[in-house]
C-alpha cells in the first residue's frame, strides 16, 4: 500500500478527532509493520515516548508515526522517512495495523462434527468449528465465532460477534456479552472454590450463582473466572484479562479494567473502573479497589484502596512510600550496624559524663 493511500483511508475514518499532520514529500510503498528498532525498508513503524525518540536517526523504516513533535518531524523528513504525527501515536498505529493485517477467522458455517443440542438457539452467520459441543438451551448471537473444540455447558448465553478460541470451556448459566474474546483454554463460570470446614473434612458449598461478562470483555489464555455460591461474578464492559488470570467467586470488576498476566483476585473482591493491576498482583478477598487505582507487578492488595492510588509492594503501599522504603531495605545491615555503633558511643559518652560529674562533685567538695 502506498503511504498516501493509507493516509487517505485514515482520513476517511470518522473517528479521528485530531486532523493528521503528515509529510507530503515522501510516498513510499508500505510492505510491513515493525518495531522501530527492527524495521526494514518498506516498513511502517511508530515512536512513542522519549525512550525510542533517538531511533529516528537510525531506523530503516520507510514511514513512521510520530508524536506531535516538530524536531522529530524534521529529523524524519531529513532522512526521507515518511511520517504522520498524532497526539496518540500508538493508538493511531493500532488503527493502522488493521489496514495491513487481519487476524485469522474461520469462515462462517457449522462444521459437521460440531454437536449442537436441539434446544440451542443460534444467531445468523455463526461460525462453529470442528468438535465443538454446545449443550442444552445455549443461545449464540449473530456472528458468534467458535474455533474448533470449544465446549459450552447448558444455559449459556453469548452475545453477537463474540469470539471463542479453541480449548475454551464455558460453564453452565454463564452470560457473555457482545464483542467479547475468550482465548484458548480459558474457563468461564466454573464452580467457585467454596468449602466449609467440618470435623470430618471440607464440605462443598454448591455454587448456584452465575458468571457474567459484559460487552467487549477479553479473557486471556488459560485464565479462569469462577461463578459464586449465590449471586454473580461480574466483569465490566471493556475490561481485559491477560493470560492465567484468576477471578474468584463473587468478584465484581468494573468497566475498562486491565488485569495483567497471572493476577489473582480472591473471592468477593471489587474494583472500580479503569483499574490497572500489574502482573502477578494478588487481591485479598473482599478487597475494595477504587476507580483508576494502579498496582505495580506483584503487589498484594487488601482492605480499601482509595481511588487513583498507585500501589506497590506486599502488603501494598502508595508507590512513593514503597519506593522510599524499598530503596532503604538493602541498607538494613548498615542501619543495624550504625545503631550498634551509636549504642556503643552512647555508653562511652555516658561514662565520660559520669567521670565528669564525679570529678565535678570532688571539686565541689574541695571548694567547701
Residues 262-321 that bind its own copies (CB under 8 A): 262, 264, 266, 279-280, 282, 284, 297-298, 300, 313-315, 317, 321
CA distances 286 to 246, 252, 309, Å, are: 15, 10, 18
Which of 298, 295, 300 shows the shortest CA–CA distance to 284?
A: 300
For the bound state, the minimum distance from the C-beta of residue 304 to its own copies, rounded and expressed in Å, comes to: 14
Is the distance from CB of 192 to CB of 229 less than 8 angstroms? yes
SS (H, E, C) 178-245: CCCEECCCCEEEEECCCEEEECCEEEECCCCCEEEECCCCEECCCCEEEECCCCEEEECCCCEECCCC
332 binds its own copies, rule: CB under 8 A: yes
139 binds its own copies, rule: CB under 8 A: no
Question: Which one of 6-14, 21-29, 69-77, 324-332 is the stretch in contact with its own copies (CB under 8 A)?
Answer: 324-332
> Which residues in the 8-37 window bind its own copies by CB under 8 A?
32-35
Catalytic annotation, pick one of 171, 249, 302, 360: 249
For the bound state, the minimum distance from the C-beta of residue 249 to its own copies, rounded and expressed in Å, comes to: 10
154 binds its own copies, rule: CB under 8 A: yes
Evaluate the CA torsion angle 221, 226, 227, 231 in order and state its sign: negative
- Give, for 5, the enclosing helix (H) or strand (E): helix 3-12
Measured distance CA(227)–CA(79) in Å, rounded: 57
3 state DSSP class of 51: helix
Question: Which one of 6-14, 65-73, 79-87, 97-105 is the stretch in contact with its own copies (CB under 8 A)?
Answer: 97-105
The DSSP secondary-structure symbol of 38 reads T
242 binds its own copies, rule: CB under 8 A: yes
For the bound state, the minimum distance from the C-beta of residue 60 to its own copies, rounded and expressed in Å, comes to: 14
Instruction: Tell me, yes or no, if 249 is annotated catalytic.
Output: yes
For the bound state, the minimum distance from the C-beta of residue 134 to its own copies, rounded and expressed in Å, comes to: 10
Place of cell 510491513: 32
Q: Which of 6, 10, 47, 147 binds its own copies (CB under 8 A)?
A: 147
For the bound state, the minimum distance from the C-beta of residue 315 to its own copies, rounded and expressed in Å, comes to: 6
For its own copies, the closer of residues 24 and 197 by Cβ is 197
Q: Known catalytic residues? A: 249
Amino acid at each position: 500500500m502506498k503511504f498516501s493511500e493509507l493516509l487517505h483511508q485514515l482520513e476517511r475514518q470518522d473517528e479521528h478527532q485530531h486532523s493528521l499532520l503528515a509529510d507530503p514529500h515522501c510516498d513510499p510503498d508500505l510492505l510491513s509493520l515493525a518495531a522501530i528498532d527492527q524495521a526494514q525498508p518498506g516498513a511502517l513503524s511508530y515512536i512513542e515516548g522519549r525512550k525510542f525518540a533517538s531511533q529516528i536517526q537510525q531506523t530503516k523504516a520507510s514511514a513512521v508515526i510520530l508524536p506531535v513533535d516538530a524536531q522529530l518531524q524534521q529529523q524524519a523528513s531529513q532522512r526521507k522517512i515518511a511520517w504522520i504525527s498524532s497526539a496518540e501515536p500508538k493508538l493511531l498505529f493500532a488503527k493502522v495495523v488493521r489496514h495491513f493485517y487481519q487476524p485469522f477467522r474461520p469462515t462462517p458455517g457449522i462444521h459437521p462434527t460440531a454437536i449442537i443440542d436441539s434446544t440451542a438457539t443460534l444467531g445468523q452467520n455463526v461460525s462453529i468449528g470442528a468438535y465443538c459441543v454446545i449443550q442444552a438451551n445455549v443461545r449464540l448471537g449473530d456472528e458468534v465465532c467458535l474455533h474448533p473444540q470449544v465446549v459450552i455447558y447448558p444455559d449459556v448465553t453469548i452475545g453477537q460477534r463474540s469470539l471463542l478460541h479453541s480449548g475454551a470451556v464455558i460453564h453452565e448459566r454463564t452470560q457473555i456479552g457482545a464483542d467479547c474474546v475468550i482465548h484458548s483454554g480459558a474457563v468461564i463460570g466454573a464452580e467457585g472454590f467454596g468449602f466449609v470446614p467440618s470435623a470430618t473434612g471440607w464440605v462443598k458449598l454448591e455454587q448456584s450463582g452465575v458468571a457474567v461478562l459484559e460487552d467487549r470483555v477479553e479473557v486471556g489464555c488459560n485464565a479462569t473466572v469462577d461463578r459464586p455460591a449465590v449471586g454473580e461474578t461480574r466483569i465490566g464492559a471493556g475490561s481485559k484479562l491477560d493470560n492465567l488470570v484468576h477471578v474468584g467467586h463473587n468478584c465484581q470488576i468494573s468497566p475498562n479494567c486491565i488485569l495483567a498476566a497471572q493476577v489473582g483476585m480472591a473471592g468477593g473482591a471489587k474494583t472500580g473502573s479503569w483499574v490497572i493491576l500489574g502482573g502477578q498482583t494478588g487481591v485479598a478477598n473482599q478487597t475494595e479497589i477504587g476507580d483508576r487505582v494502579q498496582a505495580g507487578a506483584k503487589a498484594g492488595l487488601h482492605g480499601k484502596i482509595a481511588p487513583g492510588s498507585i500501589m506497590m509492594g506486599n502488603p501494598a503501599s502508595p508507590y512513593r512510600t514503597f519506593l522510599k522504603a524499598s530503596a532503604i531495605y538493602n541498607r538494613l545491615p548498615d542501619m543495624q550496624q550504625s545503631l550498634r555503633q551509636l549504642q556503643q558511643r552512647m555508653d562511652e559518652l555516658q561514662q565520660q559524663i559520669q567521670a565528669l560529674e564525679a570529678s565535678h562533685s570532688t571539686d565541689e567538695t574541695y571548694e567547701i
